[in-house]
Structure 1
Amino acid sequence: MTNTKTLTRKNIQTLSGGRTASIVEIDGEEIRLVASTRRAKTISATMLDDMIQLSVPEFISDEHIIRSARGLMSKIKNRQHHGDKAPSDQDLMDRALHLAKVWLGDQVEPSSVVWSDNQTTRWGSCTPSTKRIRISTMLRGMPQWVIDGVLVHELAHLKYPGHGKDFQDFTHRYPRMKEADAFLDGVSFAQHQIGKESPTHG
């Protein structure tokens, strides 16, 4: 068990969006710690490249991090052990329609939304002419609010093909869009560091 109330950070890296990544050890296990000046209070955890990644506010005590990490690490390991049922294409479609109604004023409606194993260089893609949206299976297991951010991004392309100001204003109706983008930037950076091709938004 980690008895100390302080963490020793190694492999410290500066990321975009006011974030810093490092490797720390909690209860004998190495985890990736991503501290963000933009994150207010919440702490979240996900599994990335066989290592738990903990996202925390920049100004938070190590004691709080350690205490929170133990519970989150346990939940992730239990989820992996029991193998949660992956959401289906229908679940994804239903979620997209819900997001379009709540945040995009029902101004867009996809014809289909499916998981795609072929989306290895993009988190998602959209074909406005057919209104079809494909979401990378690499997102499975990530926090729902991150997946929601990608869904809103692709839904917005049904109204705005490019990434101009109108598109940005439309997507940022979803209140956690900046946070979702920052999270995915961190994932892409980590994958780039280990030599993997980094996915981008479509």
Structure 2
Amino acid sequence: MFEPRTGRTSAAASGYRRGVSADPSQRAVEVRRSARRRRTVSAYREGDRTVVLIPARMSEAEEQRWVGVMLDKLAAQESKRTLGDAELTERAERLSEQYFSSRARPRSVRWVTNQNTRWGSCTPAEGSIRLSHRLQGMPEYVVDYVLLHELAHLLVPGHGPRFWQLLEAYPRTERARGYLEGVVAAERLPKVPAARDE
């Protein structure tokens, strides 16, 4: 949902609305044009919306490009912040409420350093979820996907059709899985020494 400050939807705004998935948080985006700005573009979070400040003379195509750049930049900055176990538990509870009607109720959610071959694990009998420390620093939507994956195991054991049907509620499932597959593939690449300058 892209909202120009003027309230009218420009071509760039409607074009960007289709691409708002670049913002992992799915926040509304508000563009504010300023006659005082000459060349600088900035962005910040304001409650549940992202505000992007751009020069008034910028074209609609430039606006669209810069909104994407700034959303990516904010997402990268936010992904570098590490959630503590308490924040991770709160996040899991919010995700359970949003996607599973609060049916998945973990008793504990925490980071662990002993999971190097999987992203997370769940012990349904104990209601415990553990996430690999390797997820720290990855985009929020990826961490959310892994949390949802483990929360789904509190409702459905195994990876049968019912399990995957639960995860279909999360719109970024495929993107997050692709991201994680890319990380695994990159880790398997052979280490090639840097070329020497001659």
TM category, shorter:
0.5 to 0.7
Go from structure 1 to structure 2 and tell me whether the alpha carbon gap of 1:191 and 1:107 turns closer, same or farther (over 3 Å shift): same
Q: Choose from 175, 184, 187 the match for 1:191.
A: 187
TM-score (norm 1): 0.57
Counterpart Cα distance in 2 of 1:116 and 1:103: 25
The runs of 5 or more residues in structure 2 that have no matched partner are 1-17, 24-61, 192-198
Go from structure 1 to structure 2 and tell me whether the alpha carbon gap of 1:169 and 1:85 turns closer, same or farther (over 3 Å shift): closer
Post-superposition shift, 1:95?
A: 0.2
Counterpart Cα distance in 2 of 1:86 and 1:118: 18
Counterpart Cα distance in 2 of 1:158 and 1:73: 33
Partner of 1:141: 137
TM-score (norm 2): 0.58
Partner of 1:176: 172
Partner of 2:57: none
- Where does 1:109-188 land on structure 2 (aligned, <5 Å)? 109-188=105-184
Counterpart Cα distance in 1 of 2:175 and 2:85: 25
Counterpart Cα distance in 2 of 1:169 and 1:192: 30
Give yes or no for the alignment of 1:86 onto 2:86.
no
- 1:100 and 1:108 in contact (8 A); partners too: yes
Q: Deviations over 1:25-73 (max 9, x none)?
A: xxxxxxxxxxxxxxx74558xxxxxxxxxxxxxxxxxx9xx97897689
Percent of paired sites with the same residue: 38
Rg larger in structure: 2
Go from structure 1 to structure 2 and tell me whether the alpha carbon gap of 1:190 and 1:69 turns closer, same or farther (over 3 Å shift): farther
Aligned residues: 136
The runs of 5 or more residues in structure 1 that have no matched partner are 1-39, 45-62, 196-202
Read off the aligned partner of 2:102 and give its amino acid letter: D
Q: Tell me, what secondary structure is at the counterpart of 1:134?
A: strand
Compare the two structures and name the one with the higher helix fraction.
2
Counterpart Cα distance in 1 of 2:99 and 2:152: 11
Q: Tell me, what secondary structure is at the counterpart of 2:155?
A: coil
Compare the two structures and name the one with the higher strand fraction.
1
Q: Deviations over 1:140-197 (max 9, x none)?
A: 11110110000000000011110000000011111111111111111111111147xx
